[in-house]
Structure 1
Amino acid sequence: MEIDVVLPCLNEAAALPWVLGRMPDGFRPIVVDNGSTDGSARIAAEFGVTVVSEPRPGFGAACHAGLAASASDVVCFMDADASLDPGQLSRVCGPVVAGEADLVLGRRVLSPGASWPVHARIGNAVLARGLRRRTGVPLRDLGPMRACGRVSLLALGLVDRRFGYPLEMVLRAGAAGWRIGETDVDYLPRRGRSKVTGTVRGTLRAVGDMRRVMARQDGVA
């Protein structure tokens, strides 16, 4: 059984060799190039992995393009910046493969040298608290490493194509009665500067996207 791993990618040439080189057997990476100008797509192609081009900017657009290109029963998502170890993918997909959960997120645990600025941690904590209040799901982190059933995820009909995509996934899954779990994964020093947590502006933009998703979901409920 092979499991597709969607890797949204925007200028991650420095990190991709490490990420793709550590991909475990049985996991098939799908690198979604979201307008990189540093040769990321070429590097991914040299590793012989599937490369999808998504010209429409946005984290959610890249995630959804990778999902559309996947074919496995279970699909994983993770960042391509080397902040997460592909060797730990089995931690998040294991319960889904075993039929014990429908969606599992990796809760990031800081490793020595890892950078998770205070403004980013506060934003994440506020959103996680709002998510717990709305869904009752005891998540502590909206981590980017996650796993779920491919067909079931497509059926949720996610519409956000920006940074609200990861949150919308959990909100809609909770509303649909999915069994949602969380497991610890190491959060490592990333390669290069984060497009989100690296700046206060980036964090505020992501939080704003996610708040819009919450407001839209509240209007549907």
Structure 2
Amino acid sequence: MTDVILPCLDEAEALPWVLERIPPGWRAVVVDNGSTDGSPEIARRLGATVVHEPRRGFGSACAAGLAAAEADLVCFCDCDASLDPGLLPLLAEPVRTGEADLVLGRRRPRARGAWPLHARAGNAALSRMLRRRTGVTLRDLGPMRVARREPLRALGIEDRRSGFPLEMVVKAADAGWRITELDVPYLPRSGKSKVTGTWRGTWHAVRDMRAVLAAPPAGAEVRR
């Protein structure tokens, strides 16, 4: 079994599309982060395991999902119908066979407006900062990713806002993980984005992630 962690905030419209694409035999873990549109009830009715995380923040939802995970392999995927969970087995295979420790989906837009210019610009800037900080070259810091549960928990990811995905990559790189990315189609999301749909949301995300990059590597000596 593989667990698919799906952070969720008011995604009632997208949930049926997302959950029907969960690979057979895999478990969908929908982490409700305070929805008011009936998302938890819809997810439960469609067979997902529902976890409630009242502390707002993308990282809070991801951390709660990771804590609730039981499978050896865990996947993360947005719950807004912009990414197809049916592609997760392709990303999971290099981890399953031991060829990689962390695999990310590199988003490839399939329609105009799927990935706004300001969101792309923020992502590109963070990718450059990541390369300078860790030496790891990634073209996208997308939310679709796969790793083994226990090593991922052992990384001790602390960010509970938008910096969670980046901190995962930074700490994995510091730990010597083999990190790679595979192309995945990126579709127009259902509903309005809480993060990258606006310049302000993108700015907040970049701010959170810059703070992650500014932190010294684990175990680094503090200069006085």
TM-score bin (small chain): over 0.9
CA contact (8 A) 2:115 2:188 kept: no
Distance 1:219 1:51 in 2: 33
> Which position in structure 1 is the counterpart of 2:151?
152
Pair 1:186-2:180 in alignment: no
> Which position in structure 2 is the counterpart of 1:4?
3
> Which position in structure 2 is the counterpart of 1:116?
115
CA apart distance, 1:117: 1.0
> Which position in structure 1 is the counterpart of 2:79?
80
RMSD, aligned α-carbons: 1.2
Amino acid corresponding to residue 201 of structure 2 in structure 1: G
| Matching of residues 1-221 of structure 1 within 5 Å | 2-217=1-216, 221=220
CA contact (8 A) 2:118 2:199 kept: yes
Q: Which deviations, in whole Å up to 9, do the C-alpha atoms of 1:145-164 show, x marking residues without a partner? A: 00001000110111100000
Distance 1:217 1:108 in 2: 29
Amino acid corresponding to residue 115 of structure 1 in structure 2: A
Amino acid corresponding to residue 63 of structure 2 in structure 1: H
CA contact (8 A) 1:114 1:187 kept: no
Q: Which deviations, in whole Å up to 9, do the C-alpha atoms of 1:160-181 show, x marking residues without a partner? A: 0000000000000000000001
Amino acid corresponding to residue 138 of structure 1 in structure 2: T
Amino acid corresponding to residue 192 of structure 1 in structure 2: G
CA apart distance, 1:87: 1.1
TM-score, structure 2 length as denominator?
0.95
Q: Which deviations, in whole Å up to 9, do the C-alpha atoms of 1:59-97 show, x marking residues without a partner? A: 000000000000111100010000000111112111001
CA contact (8 A) 1:113 1:188 kept: no
CA apart distance, 1:116: 1.0
Amino acid corresponding to residue 5 of structure 1 in structure 2: V
Amino acid corresponding to residue 89 of structure 1 in structure 2: L
Distance 1:96 1:160 in 2: 24
Indicate the larger mover: 190-199 or 112-121: 112-121
CA apart distance, 1:218: 5.5
CA contact (8 A) 1:114 1:190 kept: no
CA contact (8 A) 1:171 1:217 kept: no
- Secondary structure of 1:160's match? coil
Identity score, percent: 65
TM-score, structure 1 length as denominator?
0.97
Distance 2:130 2:9 in 1: 27
Distance 1:187 1:125 in 2: 16
- Secondary structure of 2:216's match? helix
Amino acid corresponding to residue 49 of structure 1 in structure 2: A
CA contact (8 A) 1:15 1:81 kept: yes
CA contact (8 A) 2:174 2:217 kept: no
